[in-house]
């Protein structure tokens, strides 16, 4: 059966139906004729579409339909397994209270946490997580991660002392203590454009120090001399709701960063404060898959960061990118009149970690896994 378009409308029928009067607009007849023509055009379009489908190759139609079904299935499973990293603070507030947030800082409660576990069973646990990911998704693009996990012990033990991540080393990544701004140009520009916003929220927070020694939400870190305070918005891949509510604009800013690590235990975002006379001794970060970004908020004289034996200084309103899997230390040798050194710290993906690898690492090192 073939659809055939009907002939043009009969204007004599419209003329009989239309009886003009003084109260009827003169354009009514013209409007009805135009409306009738529109219906005929729509009918012609539908008939043409049906005929085109009939003329199309059946194999091509089935192939397109199968691809569409596969795409919908993939979107459903990814959406179910990979929740959005940044949700409203209010919705996180109730869940966080039950998960052990104390003083605004996330304390790991799982003895099996891959971020905090240093034992012989860690590699087996990581490999199990990788296999589980591959079963749900794919082994495609997992060669480097597979290689790294299978030979993790050799990589960590044989690394030169200048770079020795404590938890996970991804092989074949370019290594350098410092990265140029172009390594993550978009996120660097976003952070620097919002320098004043972040600074204003920090200054509001810092006023609380005049009333007590350690205000709620701040954490004091161990140092041989001086004082080092941190105020986490995201700690080891977990949002800290109470702190985020105190810095709402800074927290929303994280959602606009393209390479911010927000779904695994290697991701952090915080305000870091060093008082005059503070020394952070040499130490290694947990992994080489990230770049640590410091946006200078307050950078008095006498402050210095040393990564892999190379010293650098912070600058207000500018980002400093470095690989904290290298041996690194920080100093504030200024006077009390200089005030504290303050940076906004956020962890970004290493630019040479592929998108498929990022998704897999988020799964393998998910908080609490």
Query: 121-144: per-residue pLDDT in tens?
Result: 678 889 999 999 999 999 999 999
Q: What is the pLDDT of residues 299-344, one digit of tens each?
A: 999 999 999 999 999 999 999 999 999 999 999 999 999 999 999 9
**Which position has the higher pLDDT, 293 or 96?**
293
Torsion angle of C-alpha atoms 210, 211, 217, 219, degrees rounded to 10: 60
SS3 243: helix
Q: Token pair of 150, please? A: 């299978």
| Confidence grade of residue 64 (pLDDT, cut at 50, 70, 90) | confident
What region does 140 belong to: left with phi over 0, alpha with psi -120 to 50, or beta? beta
pLDDT digits (tens, 9 = 90+) for 203-253: 999 988 877 778 889 999 999 999 999 999 999 999 999 999 999 999 999
- For 255, the 3-state DSSP assignment is coil
pLDDT in the model for residue 34: 59
Name the helix (H) or strand (E) containing 318: none
* Confidence at residue 192, expressed as pLDDT on a 0 to 100 scale: 98
* The pLDDT of residue 81 is above 50: no
CA–CA distance, 351 with 346 (Å, rounded to integer):
15
Angle between helix 143-150 and helix 122-136 axes, rounded to 10 deg: 160
Strands 228-235 and 218-221: antiparallel
What does pTM read for this prediction? Answer: 0.70
| Collapsed DSSP state (helix, strand, coil) of residue 227 | coil
Which of residues 293 and 212 earns the better pLDDT score?
293
Indicate if the pLDDT at residue 5 is higher than 60: no
- pLDDT-above-70 percentage for the chain: 72
CATH topology of domain 173-353: Jelly Rolls (2.60.120)
pLDDT value, residue 92: 37
Confidence of residue 117 (pLDDT cuts 50, 70, 90): low
On whether the CB atoms of residues 278 and 307 are closer than 8 A, the answer is no
Per-residue model confidence as pLDDT tens digits over 173-195: 999 999 999 999 999 999 999 99
- Tell me which residue of 186, 133, 172 sits closest to 289, measured CA to CA: 172
Helix (H, G, I), strand (E, B) or coil at 362: helix
Cα→Cα distances 37→9, 18, 34, 180, Å = 7, 17, 5, 64
pLDDT of amino acid 108: 47
């Amino acid at each position: 059966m073939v659809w055939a378009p009907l002939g043009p409308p009969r204007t004599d029928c419209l003329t009989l139906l239309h009886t003009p009067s003084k109260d009827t607009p003169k354009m009514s007849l013209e409007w009805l004729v135009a409306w009738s023509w529109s219906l005929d055009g729509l009918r012609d379009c539908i008939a043409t579409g049906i005929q085109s489908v009939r003329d199309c190759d059946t194999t091509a139609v089935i192939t397109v339909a199968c691809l569409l079904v596969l795409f919908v299935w993939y979107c459903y499973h990814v959406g179910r397994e990979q929740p959005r990293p940044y949700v409203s603070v209010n919705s996180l507030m109730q869940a966080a209270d039950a998960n052990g947030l104390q003083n605004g800082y996330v304390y790991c409660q799982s003895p099996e946490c891959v971020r905090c576990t240093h034992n012989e069973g860690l590699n087996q646990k990581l490999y199990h997580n990788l296999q589980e990911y591959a079963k749900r998704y794919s082994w495609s693009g997992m060669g480097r991660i597979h290689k790294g996990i299978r030979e993790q012990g050799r990589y960590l033990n044989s690394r030169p002392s200048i770079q020795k991540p404590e938890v996970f080393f991804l092989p074949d990544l370019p290594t350098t203590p410092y990265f140029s701004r172009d390594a993550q140009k978009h996120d660097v520009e976003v952070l620097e454009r919002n320098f004043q916003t972040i600074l204003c929220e920090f200054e509001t927070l810092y006023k609380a120090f005049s009333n007590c020694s350690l205000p709620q939400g701040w954490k004091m870190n161990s140092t041989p001399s001086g004082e080092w305070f941190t105020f986490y918005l995201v700690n080891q891949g977990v949002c800290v709701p109470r702190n985020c509510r105190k810095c709402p604009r800074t927290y929303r800013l994280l959602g606009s960063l393209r390479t911010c690590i927000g779904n695994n235990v290697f991701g952090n975002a915080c305000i870091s404060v060093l008082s005059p006379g503070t020394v952070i001794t040499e130490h290694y970060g947990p992994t080489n898959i990230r770049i640590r970004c410091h946006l200078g908020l307050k950078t008095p004289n006498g402050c210095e960061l040393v990564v892999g034996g190379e010293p650098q200084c912070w600058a207000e309103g500018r980002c400093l990118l470095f690989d904290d899997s290298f041996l690194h230390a920080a100093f504030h040798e200024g006077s009390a009149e200089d005030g504290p050194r303050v940076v906004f710290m956020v962890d970004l993906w290493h630019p040479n970690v592929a998108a498929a690898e990022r998704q897999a690492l988020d799964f393998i090192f998910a908080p609490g896994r």
